[in-house]
Amino acid sequence: MRLRSFDSRIKCNYYSYTLSWQGGFAVNTSSRFAFAVHVLALLSLQEGAPLSSEMIAGSVNTNPALIRRLLTMLAEAGLTTSQLGAGGGALLARPPDDITLLEVYRAVDDAQLFAMHREEPNPACMVGRNIQVVLRGIIDEAQQAMEASLGARTLADATSDLVRAERARERKRRPHG
């Protein structure tokens, strides 16, 4: 299937963005936040035992080099640390209930939830002249709502939800009787 776009400059950065098909157009969506929560949840479940980037990459189903770059971002934000040497690897820097999902988001996603035009819209067009002003308020409101939601949830909350989901899955798989 060939991608269609008004702009021929579609670019895919394998680390930070994936192209997804929405409404007939390719759009950039970051997967770093989902990967980061995945990594931190794994570390949380290890209860202090370090995990190598290779082990983490196996769970995330990606390249260990990508995981190392992500771990660097998380370490710079004070969310992870590392243990060197044989049997070393990544560790949580703080307890899971002291890490909000907003901190995780801010550690790995430096952009707004929604992006504005990369180039100035056409000022000769009524829509082009005004769309930025109209969208800015809407986008800011959506960003604030998302950040409030992420700020109210911790890594411990996400990890508890994962454990509950796995237990429910196991109950469904057991034969009844």
Tens digits of residue pLDDT in 122-149 = 889 999 899 999 999 998 999 999 999 9
The position carrying tokens 């057991």 is 174
pLDDT, residue 52, reads: 94
pLDDT, residue 160, reads: 96
Mean pLDDT of the chain: 83
Q: Considering its fold, how many domains does the chain have in total?
A: 2
* Contact between 44 and 161 (Cβ < 8 Å): no
Distance between CA atoms of residues 91 and 71, nearest Å = 10
What confidence tens digit (pLDDT) does each residue in 66-83 have?
Answer: 999 999 999 999 999 999
Percent of the chain with pLDDT over 90: 62
Distance between CA atoms of residues 44 and 51, nearest Å = 10
* Contact between 158 and 150 (Cβ < 8 Å): no
Q: Record the pTM.
A: 0.77
Sign of CA dihedral 57, 60, 66, 69: negative
pLDDT value at 12 more than 70: no
Regarding whether 35 and 16 lie in a shared domain, the answer is: no
Distance between CA atoms of residues 56 and 72, nearest Å = 14
What confidence tens digit (pLDDT) does each residue in 32-58 have?
Answer: 999 999 999 999 999 889 999 999 999
What the block records as the tokens of 13 is 């950065």
Q: Which 3 state secondary structure label does DSSP give 170?
A: helix
The runs of H, that is alpha helices, within 1-154 are: 32-45, 53-60, 64-76, 101-108, 126-151
Q: Name the residue range of residue 14's domain.
A: 1-30
Regarding whether 96 and 127 lie in a shared domain, the answer is: yes
For residue 3, name the pLDDT band (cuts at 50, 70, 90): very low
Q: Is 171 exposed, middle or buried (0-12, 13-18, 19+ CB in 10 A)?
A: exposed
pLDDT, residue 74, reads: 98
Q: Which 3 state secondary structure label does DSSP give 124?
A: coil
Regarding whether 40 and 25 lie in a shared domain, the answer is: no
Regarding whether 115 and 42 lie in a shared domain, the answer is: yes
Regarding whether 71 and 58 lie in a shared domain, the answer is: yes
pLDDT, residue 177, reads: 55
